[in-house]
Amino acid sequence: MAAVIDVDGTLIDSNYQHVLAWQRAFAAAGFHVPCARIHRTIGIGSDRFVAAACDEAAEREHGDALRDAHSEQYEKLIDEAGPLPDAHELLAALRERDVAVVLARPRARSSTATSSSWTPPSSSRPPSQPATSTRPSRRPT
């Protein structure tokens, strides 16, 4: 028997790191997308994320660049995330039952490991980003 477990947001409390990474990626491209809107969109696949959080024009014109920028920003923030409550216990329980565990990670960070080899990143608090409005807007360049 085997279990495939998504690391981001399931074992690691990384949702806010994703929010900040997306917010920074949008801002670098000149878009103002409030963190509250980005947060509500977390969980949608990155192939649909830009259109859902911003709009279809942003997806058409900047989608791939925004996804790349998000990945770069996320790499800078991921070490601030820590394990979710009971993540260690879940992996230990699966190991005790001799369940093979495959840890699924996003794109370039993809890897396969057993539960005994997984080590969570260090835990700390990310900086907060206040939301100012619910509608995205493009900043003049």
| Confidence (pLDDT) at 117 | 40
Residue 122 in this model has a pLDDT that exceeds 60? no
Note down the domain range covering 42: 2-120
| Encoded tokens for 118 | 């997984």
**CB atoms closer than 10 angstroms to residue 138:** 15
Residue 124 in this model has a pLDDT that exceeds 90? no
| Confidence (pLDDT) at 107 | 55
* Residue 54 near residue 41, CB atoms below 8 Å: no
- For residue range 60-118, list pLDDT tens digits in order: 999 999 999 999 999 999 999 999 999 999 999 999 999 999 988 765 433 333 333 44
- For residue range 15-59, list pLDDT tens digits in order: 999 999 999 999 999 999 999 999 999 988 889 999 999 999 999
pTM reported for the whole predicted model: 0.70
Q: Please, what is the Cα angle at 64 between 60 and 67, to 5 degrees?
A: 120
Task: Report yes or no on 66 lying in a domain.
Answer: yes
Task: Report yes or no on 108 lying in a domain.
Answer: yes
